[in-house]
Amino acid sequence: MSPVVRLTVRLGLGLGVAMTLGLGGMAAAQGTKAAPAPTEAAQKKAVAVVLTQAKVVKDAQGKEQLVAADSVKPGDVLEYTATYTNHTGKAVTGLVANLPIPEGLEYLPKTAKPGATLVKAATKDGAFAAEPLARVVNGKSEPVPYNEYRSLRWTLGQLPANGSAAVTARAKVEVVVPPAPVAAGADAQKVARSTP
């Protein structure tokens, strides 16, 4: 079984983003002899992950710029970048990166980079597939709305000795409407009516 490192990084908005780093083939990267599985501390030292969040804005000429996302509001676009750095003198193989998309953010289509065959997306069900995702409703296939995407996964493969690789994705801050409060008396009346 491949060792896995799970890191949780706190971002602005109180969002906790968990990054899962799969290190399959670690023994193969260390030579022909199978080595014992490294401890979690050793794995964290082998490959470091830095997750950054920036707000995408346009300057006066309409050119995109990335600025600090100290505060955000509905409609703002955020760009997440996870940079993986191999701090060992040997290649690491089987590198997989997971980037959850928290509730309140809508993934922006085709913004995951590197894209194409390296990235897959999933909804809450956790079944990863290439975007756009589809589901069957009443016997008909329909596209899954992008605001229901909850995770991206990249299969990065090999990270060279002392090398780095980065993945990015963009998401829009949604308007979150809390559920309407229910009056205490309304629940009691509903219960009273349903009791024979």
Q: Which tens digits make up the pLDDT trace of 151-185?
A: 999 999 999 999 999 999 999 999 877 777 766 55
What phi, psi does 38 have (nearest 5°)? -70, 155
Reported as a single tens digit per residue, the pLDDT across 23-42 is 433 322 333 333 445 544 55
Percent of the chain with pLDDT over 70: 69
Amino acid letter for position 104 = G
In DSSP notation, 47-84 reads EEEEEEEEEEEE-TTS-EEEEE-SS--TT-EEEEEEEE
Tens digits of per-residue pLDDT, 136-147? 999 999 999 999
Contacts of 43 (CB under 8 A, 6+ apart): 3, 5, 21, 23
Model confidence at 44, pLDDT cuts 50, 70, 90, reads low
**Pairing mode of beta strands 140-143, 134-137:** antiparallel
DSSP per residue, 136-153: EETTEEEEPPGGG--EEE
pLDDT at 7 over 50: no
Contact 85, 50 (CB under 8 A): yes
pLDDT of residue 181: 77
Instruction: Please report, for the chain, the start and end positions of each structural domain, with discontinuous segments joined by +.
Output: 4-194
CATH topology of domain 4-194: Immunoglobulin-like (2.60.40)
Higher pLDDT, 81 or 10: 81
Quick one: the chain helix, strand, coil %, rounded to 5? 15, 45, 40
Helix/strand/coil for 190: helix
> Alpha-carbon distance 156 to 22, whole Å?
10
Q: State phi, psi for 178 to the nearest 5 degrees.
A: -65, 150
For the record, the structure tokens of 169 come out as: 């994705």
